[in-house]
Amino acid sequence: MRRDPTEPEKRLWSKLRKRQLGGIKFRRQVWLAGYVADFYAAEVKLVIEVDGDDHAAREASDRHRTEILEREGFRVMRFGNADVMHTLDGVLEAILMMARETPSPSQAFGSGPSLSPEGERGQ
C-alpha cells in the first residue's frame, strides 16, 4: 500500500503530511501492535484508518484490530473511502478535534518527541 495507495489515502495524506493539520506530525504506513496503521501521529497517539469498499466483509477483523490498538493506548479513528472523497474537510475537522482532546506529552512536559530516522519515513 505504501507504493500504491488508494485515491482516498492519497487525498487524506496530501492534507496530513508536512504538519499541515494543526502542526501535527503524521506518518504513513506505520507498524503498531502487530498491524500497519494507515496514518499515525505519535505525539497524540492517534491512528487514522481509511476503510476501503470491502470494509463490510472485514468489519469483525477491523473491530478486533481497533480493540488491540486501543488496549495498547492508541486512539483510533476510522473513515470510509466515501467520507474522505466527499467530505474531506469534515474528516480533517474530526481528526483535529480528536487530536486536541488530550494534550500531548510534549505539551504537558515542554519537550518535543524524539524520532529516530525510521520515524521520518513516509514524507
| Domain ranges (residues) in the chain | 7-101
> For residue 7, what pLDDT is reported?
96
> For residue 53, what pLDDT is reported?
77
- Residue whose C-alpha is closest to residue 44's, from 27, 64, 63: 27
19-42: burial string, b at 16+ Cβ within 10 Å, e else: eebeebbbbbbbebeeeebbbbbb
List, in sequence order, every residue forming a beta bridge with 28; answer none if it has no partner: 39
Find where cell 504506513 sits.
Answer: 29
**For residue range 25-57, what is the model confidence (pLDDT) as tens digits?**
999 999 999 999 999 999 999 999 999 877 566
Pairing relation of β-strands 46-51 and 35-41?
antiparallel
**For residue range 56-112, what is the model confidence (pLDDT) as tens digits?**
668 899 999 999 999 999 999 999 999 999 999 999 999 999 999 965 555 443 333
Give the type of residue at 70: E
All cell numbers assigned to 22: 494543526
* C-alpha of 59 from chain center: 18
79 with 46: CB under 8 angstroms?
Answer: no
Domain at 7-101, CATH from 3.40.960.10, 3.20.20.80, 3.65.10.10, 3.40.1190.20: 3.40.960.10
